[in-house]
Amino acid sequence: MNRPTTETVQLTTLANGVRVVSETITHVQSASVGIYYGAGSRDETDALRGISHFIEHMMFKGTKKRTAREIADSIESRGGHLNAFTTKENTCYEARILAEDLPLAMDVLTDMLRESLFDKDEMEREKRVVLEEIKMYEDTPEEMVHDVFEQTLFPSHPLGQPIIGYEKTVSAMSREDIVGYIGTQYRPDRIIVSAAGNLDHDELVAMTAKAFSDLDGTAPVREQQIPIASGESKQMGKRDIEQVHFCYGAAGYAKTDKRRYPLMILNNVLGGNMSSRLFQEIREKRGLAYSIGSYPRAYLDGGFFCVYGGTSPDTYQQVLELTQIEFDKVLKDGITDDELNKAITQVRGALVLGLESMNSRMHRYGDSILTYGRVIPISEIMAEFEAVTHEKINATAHEILGSDKKTLTAIGAFETEEAA
């Protein structure tokens, strides 16, 4: 049975600025709901690095009417899933449940977000958990190298700071810091309740109003400043690892910059999947790496394009050279008609497949409202991709791949830490 690929989204704004966006899908028996806050690591001061992520942890540690165990059990005992995540610009608390359990999910989520105790003993225990998370992250070079890349690329911009924070800043956080940060950043103009599934929009609006209508005020205006690429590189020595993990790339485009569309097509061709040039040349043809690929990342006022790979120390330089050779080929000859058409078809397929998931729809709507103030229709997105030409690809390639401020970061068993 064919399902429609269009979306019928409803948006309601409460009197205090809280926005509710949802889509009713009657042929499913589930729903996904997320409460988005337009606050992330970029909104933190130097002294409070990691507080957005730490607050996310603390929201699960008990409220006036539920213990931490009861928070988890209330959703999981119904077969649902409760989760949260923090990014550089947003924080989201979400639940995937049976459609009939949407009122329960909203009650649990809003209870966490409005009535958390932030008990000092729980805080000290959770600090140890986050410090262990930091250690685990530092023991995982294939994860750590991406943050090192952003820190090196944008050293003087908040986007260059890690989401998880630092041992020193997390250890020093107080209950007053948490309450103050929430009071400043978790304001109604930064709150989006997003949902998709077998639900009633008006009922979702009523549940949202019950939980949030007493809030007022606005969050501080974010300073929009284009992150300037440093052009610096960094090599980090780490003992007892068998590979060199590296990121190589340059500054890219913001979420509102339409040049991100040709960049996404270029990424698809270069390293975005198993049929890409980098994967085929470096892994399939030569067997020099297990992991090799690329990705673009866009924020409100900037972004980047990055190639990531993991390879043996004795083949590291060869893999870097082969990566640059693929860059040079695109700069010299562009991409083929077949590659362009195939990439557009792949992007369309990914967009349509995303519509199969209520969770994907929910996240698309929440992020879109926070970023653009509206949900951009799939048809409009596809029109942008279909308008990508060889000329646009070439211009993007020269700006990104031909940049004279590319950054290389590498973590491996190097004897010294130095410029890469």
What amino acid positions are annotated as catalytic residues? 56
What is the token pair recorded at 30?
Answer: 């589930």
Gap between the Cα atoms of 339 and 218, Å rounded: 47
Closest CA to 294 of 302, 286, 282: 282
Between CA 109 and CA 102 the distance in angstroms is: 10
44 vs 33: CA distance, rounded Å: 26
Q: Which of 208, 199, 158 is nearest to 18 (CA)?
A: 208
SS3 of 74, please? Answer: helix
Alpha helical stretches, state H, 24-81: 51-58, 68-76
To the nearest 10°, report the CA torsion of 130, 135, 138, 141.
Answer: -100
Q: What are 86's strand-pairing partners?
A: 91
Nearest CA-CA partner of 341 in 390, 280, 297, 301: 390
